[in-house]
Structure 1
Amino acid sequence: MLKKLFQAFRPPAPMTLPDPDAELALGALLVRVAKADRDYQVEEISLIDRILARLYQHNAIEAAKVRATCEKLHAAAPDTDTFGKLIRETTGIDERLAALDALWEVVLADGEEREGEVKIVEEARIAMGLSGKDSDDARARILARRDG
């Protein structure tokens, strides 16, 4: 009994996080963008789950588990460029452009482009080796999809 009492006051053992791959890096960037305005909404969480499911062929439960891992990676995370470089080094141009689309999808989810969110997308874009035109085109695609 005393042993249980002492264990209750001990800090929990640190959780080990997986080494990020391109999927976890993108997920962490999506979480970072969604949390940039310090208002992480259920709609953004659901959108991130749908994006992860769409891009990586997950069912809803798998996507939610990946997003939860990405939230932890984001919290313990390296800077945005580290995630962006990992995506650049491990994926082709089509996957990087899809990642940029996904980032803009989260930025534009609430109908507002906040400076902090756009800054993260810009840092990720540069780290992924994509151009400003690529970003403008991705933003336009997401706006067209949303409006049409």
Structure 2
Amino acid sequence: MFADLIRRMTAPAPQPLSDPDARLALGALLVRIARTDGRYDPSEKAQIDQTLMSRYDLDEAEAATLRADCERLESEAPDTVRFTRAIKDAVAYEQRLSVIEALWRVVLADGLRDVHEDSMMRMTVSLLGITDQDSNAARLRVTPS
């Protein structure tokens, strides 16, 4: 189902993603970070849905359907290096900062900081071309009080 999107995302010189494809790519990245620690909790799914609803003006049913598509894409997607490259190439730095905030919200959704999630976040931040300082500031902005 997602073979064409994956092929386009992993091409040597990927084209910018269309809006529907960008939604899938971002959602799949959110799912990937949520699954990194081996647990994919309802709180993480709810946070992904909330991100998709607010970012794309979706209702709950539309967000849940999109998340389900993103879960399938994530399971078929290649390594994170090529996957994030497509997002980096398609999204301006300022918008990538909001992606980092969304990723941190998912990481923190279950109330646990896992070493695997932290490692994946460090790699993803680097691959998206975000500075460590900006990632830390994004994490602080979304950390519950």
* TM bucket, shorter chain: 0.7 to 0.9
Q: Taking structure 1 as the reference length, what is the TM-score of the superposition?
A: 0.81
Gaps of 5+ in 1: 1-15
Q: Taking structure 2 as the reference length, what is the TM-score of the superposition?
A: 0.83
Identity between Structure 1 and Structure 2 (%)? 39
CA distance in 1, matches of 2:95, 2:22: 9
Structure whose alpha-carbon radius of gyration is higher:
1
Matched, 1:67 2:67: yes
- 1:60-80 CA distances to partner (integer Å, 9 max, x unpaired)? 111111111110111111111
Aligned residues: 130
1:53 Cα offset (Å): 0.9
Q: Secondary structure at the match of 1:40?
A: coil
Matched, 1:48 2:42: no
CA distance in 2, matches of 1:122, 1:23: 22
**Relative to structure 2, which stretch is displaced further, 99-108 or 78-87?**
78-87
1:83 Cα offset (Å): 2.4
Q: Tell me the equivalent position of 2:15.
A: none
The answer (yes or no) to whether the contact 2:29–2:74 under 8 Å persists in 1 is yes
Gaps of 5+ in 2: 7-20
The answer (yes or no) to whether the contact 1:28–1:70 under 8 Å persists in 2 is yes
Q: What is the letter of the counterpart of residue 64 of structure 2?
A: A
1:95-110 matches, cutoff 5 A: 95-110=95-110
CA distance in 2, matches of 1:117, 1:23: 22
- 1:1-43 CA distances to partner (integer Å, 9 max, x unpaired)? xxxxxxxxxxxxxxx1261633212211111111112221111
1:126 Cα offset (Å): 1.2
Q: CA RMSD in A?
A: 1.4
- 1:84-125 CA distances to partner (integer Å, 9 max, x unpaired)? 211111111221000000000011112221111112212221
